[in-house]
Structure 1
């Protein structure tokens, strides 16, 4: 049985921990939880019979086999290197952190030197395997479109405090993946995941639309090269406790762990 530690105790972490405990208890045991707010870590840890940790050193003191992150891209940048160097594999839910070239390359080097793995789950989308196939074939063009309710986009740095229209659908951003994740750090992790998998971090186009009538987070990814074309559309309900995220993000990490433990693995 492998042990798991979790960074973050928000809505997605709660879903992940609950379902991992329910579905994968023969293969995994959650041993520790760390969060920015001590009371949140205590609450989640108590429900799991795990340790609540105030620092990363506390979290790593049990030498978990896998550390799962649900705490945002700044947490990834702050903790990822130390997790790998300490001897744990790392699952990153906040993939937007990897839009930073220098950080991503440094993390890859650290993982290689430490003989550890960094796992990037599908999150709110899917088909990262297909996107890697396009990347290997070359000459791929990628367009990533996100449609969300304006409320879920509020507070994004790109908006500079502007309130979005509540009575009409409008495209509010068109640009590159790095600009999208910097402008909407809590909304477009999927764009970074798709761009990294397809090898188009600086070539893909991102379009973000605010739709007052939307009750789902809708992600549409179009890929084409000289030999293939594909279109993937995923629509998911936002997490009621955190409208900026889709509940499928947490479920995708549960699926990742299930795949890693299985003698037959999907790719």
Structure 2
């Protein structure tokens, strides 16, 4: 069965996936085993759909009804193809400014970043298929509707997006406190993509190895890091400042 934001029931979710419904995340009850359940697991792996195994109490809160062991969250947006988006932006004549999010997990941080990205003219946002925050009601609310106004792409791994940007002549800059250069030492005037890391881990070390530049914000107080959405805003507005 289905309402505006969720599908519940294993068979219903399987049919939704097969029919091309844009599924953002599937929550599956721990310990459920059946042939139908195994078919769902196979489909989730095959389609690269984000999923989590959760206690029944979580599913009860999500549906307030008969979920039959599985609940899927429907994405409120259609995702863009990264190849087409990058080509379209380059052909538009505008200087590309992309944002890559390496497995951000907090929906409110994600929503706030999307809002700032839309306000700063970001060309598109690229996220990873697995491990990131779902696009749900909280994301929409925090983004103030910006989620519907900016193109978003999904890739198997953020490194895929890094290599795609680089092959398209777009410089990739990682926002990390491990950098030796400050944000003000980096040029954002040419085509570029900024990577922001997850709240706890930051940017994956394997991703940091392949970027073109790394930059950090000056921290003058005793707290060692900023909230990721605040840091992202500082990076994006430095790009705006340099390009103005």
Q: TM-score interval w.r.t. the shorter chain?
A: 0.3 to 0.5
TM-score, normalised on structure 1?
A: 0.34
Larger strand proportion, structure 1 or 2?
1
